A and B are shown apart, each in its own frame.
Chain A
Amino acid sequence: MSKVHISTTVNGEAVEFLADTRDSLLDSLRDSLGLTGTKEGCGTGDCGACSVVVDGTLVCSCLMLGVEAQGKQIETIEGMANGDALHPLQRKFIEHAALQCGFCTPGILVASKALLEKNPDPSEEEVRYWLAGNLCRCTGYDKIIRAVMDAAEEMRGAA
C-alpha cells in the first residue's frame, strides 16, 4: 500500500508529509511531522489530549485522518506561543499551578484558546462545560478553571 503525499499548513507554516491512509491526523502530527506536543490519551475522542484546531474548529485529532489534513490550516500547541512570548493562557497556567503532570495541558490550552476566541467573557460554568471534553486526572480542574478565567480577564483588559 503506498502512502499519500499531503500538503498542509501547520501553525502558519507550509509542510508536507506522507500519510498512511490509516494514520490519524494525530499520528501524522506526532510521527510524520515530529510535533509531539499533541498527545494520545485514548484514541477514541473521549479525553481531549489530542485537541487541535483545524480551519478554526476545535477537533480531536485522533478522530480525523492524516489524509484529511490536505489543504487545511492546523493549529497545535507548538504554535501557541509567539517565539519567546507565551500566550496569556500559557503564562496563567504556570502562575496558577494549573498543571501537575502536564500531559493534558497542551489539549486544555488549545481548547481554552478556542473558547476565548469564541467567547472572551465566559462564566465559570461555560468554561467548565467547554472543557468537559478534556480530561485531567491530576488537578481536579480547580486551578485550570481559575487560570482560564484569569487569562480571559487579562485578554479582555488588553483588548
Chain B
Amino acid sequence: MAKDTNTSDFRYIGTRPARPDGLDKVTGRARYGADIAAANMLHAAVVRSPHAHARIVKIDTSKAEALDGVKAIVTRADFPTGLTGEDWDLQENTMAGERALYDGHAVAAIAATSPHIARDAVKLIEVEYEILPHVIDVDDAMAEGAPVIREGAANKTVPEGMHPNVVKYIEFGHGDVEDGFAKADLVMERHYKTEATHQGYIEPHACMGQLGADGKGEMWVCTQGHWYIRRMCAAVLGLDTAQLRVTASEIGGGFGGKTTIFMEPLALALSRKSGGRPVKLVMSRSEVLRATGPTASASMDVKIGMTKDGMLTAGVANFRMQGGAFPGSPVDMALYCAFAPYQVPALQHIGYDVLANRPKCAAYRAPGSPMGAFAVESLIDEMATELGLDPMEVRIKNSSKSGDKSSYGPKFGVIGLEETLAATKAHPNMSIPLGPNQGRGIAAGYWFNHGGETSVSVALSEDGTVQVSVGTPDIGGSRASMALMAAETLGIPYENVRVNIAETGSLGVNEPTHGSRATFASGKAMHGALTQAINEMCRRAAGKWKIDPEAVEWRDGAAVPAGPNAGQFPPMTIQEIARKMKNTGGPISGHHESVPDGVGDSFGAHVVDVEVDPETGHTKILRYLVVQDAGRAIHPSYVEGQYQGGAVQGIGWALNEEYVYDNMGRLQNPIFLDYRVPVASDLPMIDTVIVEVPNPGHPFGVRGVGETGITPPLPAIANAVAAATGVRIRHLPITPTKLLAAIKAK
C-alpha cells in the first residue's frame, strides 16, 4: 500500500535542494532551441510582409532560386488545403494565403547552406502587394466602416448586426444589477485601456526540423508543449501525427508564448522540399516581436456600486479585446477573473473578441486576468478613496471565501484569499511611513490554474534508483519539484530520482507547461504512477514472503509487513527489490494518464510603494511585496521565483511596455532597445510571503503558482501612483510622459 500523503509532516517537500539541471545551466552545457546542429543541415530565413494589410498579388522566387546555396523555397502553395477552424487559423498564420494580415506576416521561406545566404535570398524574393486599409485599435476595429479582416469568421455566439471583425461574444452574470446600483451610496463608471505586450522571453523561437518524403519527421524545438507542436505541425502540413516525433530542448522562457506554433511547420516543409535535409530556423528578436504572439490589447468599461461602508452591491464589466487577425483574445477569461476575488450580489459581464491587423495573440501568463484586474481593482480603489475607506479593509470585507459562489457562476472549492489578505494586512511593509511624492497601492488577483491531459511514467533501475518521465518541459525548476515529490512518495533520497522530459514518442499526450499546471498535473500523475510501481514492489516482497500483497506496506523506501500479524520480516529495500526484479516478474514501472480534477485556484495580493518624480513623471518602485497562496510549496525557492518573476513582468506592463504602431500599422519598437522590459537597476528586492492553504485535490496540496503573480501589479501600481500624485491613469502603460502631462493638467 502506498503511504497516505495528505499531511504536513514532510521530509523532502518544503526543502530547497539544488535543482537537478543546475549544473548544466550554470556551465553553459544545457542545450536550448538554437543549440543544435546536424550533418547536412540547412539554415532557413523567412520573408515577411512589411504591410499591415495587403493582398498578395504575386510572389516571384526566381532570383532567389538562382542564388548559389539556396536549396528550397516554400510559399502557401506548398501547404495542403481544406483545413477548417483552429487548424486553418494556424496554417494561415504560419504562412499567408491571399492576404498579408499584419506587419511581419510570413509570405515565403527559404532554406540555404548558410544563414547569410538564406538572408540574402530573402531580399531577392519579389512580392507584389496591393496595400489595403488596415485597423489597429480594438474599438476602431468594431466600428462601422472598419476594414474587414475576414468575412464569416464570427462564431455562433455573436449577435446579429455586429461588425464582421467581432468574432466571439460572451455574456454572463447573476442578480439584478439595476437593483444593486439603486442600493449603492456611490456608483462610479470608468473606462480603462491596456496595450499589447509581449511575453519577452529572452530566447527567440528556434527549431530544427527534418521531414522525409515518407512522411516521417523529427523536430527539435524550444517549446512549452511538444505534443501541441506535434499535433499542430501535423495538421498544418497534412502529416500523420504519430509519424512526427518532437523533442523539447531546454527552453529559455515561454510564459505562454511558446505553447503554439509560429514557424515550426516552415522548417519541416523546407526540409521535405530540400530532399529531407535537416533545416534549422531561428527567429531574430524583431521577428519574435513582430510575428509571434503578444497578448491582446483591451478597452474596458466598468461600473461598480458600493455602500458607504465599502460593501459592493453591483458590477457591470464590458470588455473589448483584439487578439490580432485571428480569434482568440482572452476576453472570456478576463471577465471570469475580473470580480473573482469578491462577493458581489449582482454582476453583469459582456465581452467581445475582435480581429485587427496585428499578429495572432498567444497566451501570456494568466491570459486576460491582468487586464480585468487593472480595471476592477483600480475602480474599487478609486471608490474606496472617494468614500474615505481603507482600501485593504474594503478588499477584506468583500472577499470570496471557500464554498462561496464565484463571480463566474460555480462555487469555489477550498480557496486561500482570506488568509492571503490577512497575511498582507499584517505585513510590516503595510506600515512603513511614506515621504513626499510617495504612495502605496494594493490589489488582489486571481487565476484558476489548469489540469489538462497528462501522461507520466516511472521506472525502477537495476540499482534501485528511479527514473521519472514527464511531458511538461522544465521552464522554471519543475524537475526539482517532481524529484522532491517522488522522493517523498517513495521515501528515498532526492538525489536517487532522475526526472526526464520525455519526447513525444515516449508518452501519451501531454498538455504544455502552461496554466500553472506542471507541478500540479505532472505531480499528481507521477504520484499515481509511483503508487502503481509501489504496489508492484509490495507484490514482489509479498511473493518472497509468501504472504498476501494486501499485508505489505511501503515505508521509507522499503516494503514492510503491514502489521505484526502479517509476519516477522525485515524491510525489503527498493535496492533489493530492484536487484532481483528480473527474476521476480521482470521490469517494474508505473504509468498514469488522466485529465486530473481537483485543480486549486490561486489568489494573490500585492503591495507596492512608489515615488514619482514630479519633474519627469518617472515612477520608481521603492518596495514590492507579493503574498500568494501556493497550497503547498514543494520547493519554496522556485515558488518565490514565480512570485517575483510575475510581479516584475507586471511592473514592466504597468510602467513601460506597449506595442507602438505607426499610421501604416507597422510595429515601431521590435527590438529590446525600444521594447524596454525592466532591468536590474529599475527594481528593488521583491519581498514574498508564501501562504499555504492546501488544495485537497492534490496529494501534497499543490496549487499552481506561476500565473497569478502578474495580475495584481497593474492595478497596484496604478493605485500607488494615484496615492502619490492624486492622478489616476486609466490607460497603461504609465509612462513618464503620460504621467507628467496628467500631473500638469491637474
Contact = CB atoms under 8 A, between A and B. Distances in A.
A22 B117 CA distance: 11
Nearest to A104: B202
Nearest to A95: B18
6 contacts: A39-B34, A41-B204, A86-B23, A99-B22, A129-B681, A141-B679
Interface of A: 20, 22-23, 27, 30-31, 34-44, 46-47, 49, 76-78, 80-81, 86, 90, 93-97, 99-106, 109, 125, 127-129, 131-146
B680 A90 contact: no
B251 interface: yes
Contacts of B37: 31, 34
A140 B645 contact: yes
Contacts of B683: 128, 140-142
Contact of B680 (A30, A96, A105, A131): A131
Given A41-B285, A138-B476, A140-B683, A36 B28 contact: yes
Given A47-B672, A97-B637, A103-B253, A128 B680 contact: yes
Nearest to B206: A40
Contacts of A93: 22, 26
A134 to B, nearest CB: 7
B285 to A, nearest CB: 4
Contacts of B252: 39, 41, 101-104
B207 to A, nearest CB: 15
Contacts of B202: 39, 41, 47, 49, 101, 103-104, 135-137
Contact of A139 (B16, B34, B251, B641): B641
A140 B644 contact: yes
B294 interface: no
A41 B686 contact: no
A104 B636 CA distance: 22
Given A97-B477, A100-B645, A102-B21, A132 B27 contact: no
B87 interface: no
Nearest to A107: B202
A97 B17 CA distance: 9
B641 A102 contact: no
Interface in B27-49: 27-32, 34-35, 37
Given A40-B204, A101-B201, A136-B202, 4 more contacts: A47-B202, A99-B26, A101-B252, A141-B679
B35 A36 contact: yes
Nearest to B644: A140
Contacts of A96: 637
Nearest to B288: A42
B284 interface: yes
A100 B285 CA distance: 21
B409 to A, nearest CB: 34
Given A101-B251, A102-B252, A104-B202, A132 B28 contact: no
Contact of A101 (B34, B114, B475, B671): B475
B25 A102 contact: yes
A86 B678 CA distance: 29
B26 A90 contact: yes
Nearest to A45: B673
B200 interface: yes
A43 B644 contact: no
Contacts of A139: 641, 644-645, 648
A6 B734 CA distance: 49
Q: Which 10 A-B pairs have the closest CB atoms?
A: A37-B28, A103-B252, A102-B25, A140-B648, A97-B637, A140-B644, A46-B672, A77-B28, A100-B476, A36-B35
A141 B100 CA distance: 39
Contacts of A31: 37
Interface string B668-689: 0001110001111101011000
B638 interface: yes
B638 A94 contact: no
B151 to A, nearest CB: 38
B647 interface: yes
Contacts of A140: 644-645, 647-648, 678, 683, 686
A49 B251 CA distance: 14
A34 B28 CA distance: 12
B728 to A, nearest CB: 26
B679 A100 contact: no
Contacts of B609: none
B116 interface: yes
B25 A80 contact: no
Contacts of B640: 97, 143
A39 B203 contact: yes
Interface residues of B, number: 59
Contacts of B680: 127-129, 131-132, 134, 136, 141, 144-145
Interface in B182-228: 199-204
Interface of B: 16, 18-19, 21-23, 25-32, 34-35, 37, 114-116, 199-204, 250-255, 282, 284-285, 475-477, 635, 637-638, 640-641, 644-645, 647-649, 671-673, 677-681, 683, 685-686
- In this complex, the member of A42, A81, A99, A144 whose beta carbon has the largest number of chain B beta carbons within 10 angstroms is A42
Nearest to B28: A37
Contacts of B637: 96-97, 143
B22 A76 contact: no
Nearest to A92: B26
Nearest to A35: B28
B628 to A, nearest CB: 14
B254 to A, nearest CB: 8
B48 to A, nearest CB: 16
Contacts of A20: 114, 116
A145 B680 CA distance: 8
Given A20-B116, A100-B476, A103-B203, A109 B285 contact: no
A123 to B, nearest CB: 12
A78 B28 contact: yes
A127 B684 CA distance: 12
Contacts of B27: 37, 77-78, 80-81, 86, 90
A80 B640 CA distance: 28
B25 A99 contact: yes
A51 B25 CA distance: 15
B285 A138 contact: no
Nearest to A97: B637
Contacts of B638: 97, 100
A79 to B, nearest CB: 9
Nearest to A148: B680
A155 to B, nearest CB: 16
A89 B199 CA distance: 28
B685 A145 contact: yes
Contacts of B31: 36
Contacts of A104: 202, 252
B200 A128 contact: no
A99 B479 CA distance: 13
A25 to B, nearest CB: 15
A90 B34 CA distance: 23
A36 B672 CA distance: 22
Nearest to A23: B116
Contacts of A135: 202, 672, 677, 679
B64 to A, nearest CB: 18
B204 A94 contact: no
A94 B645 contact: no
Contacts of A132: 679-681
A21 to B, nearest CB: 9
Contact of A38 (B28, B114, B251, B284): B28
Contacts of B29: 37
- In this complex, the member of B26, B27, B645, B648 whose beta carbon has the largest number of chain A beta carbons within 10 angstroms is B26
A138 B645 contact: yes
A44 B285 contact: yes
Contact of B671 (A42, A78, A90): A42
A157 B713 CA distance: 39
B26 A101 contact: no
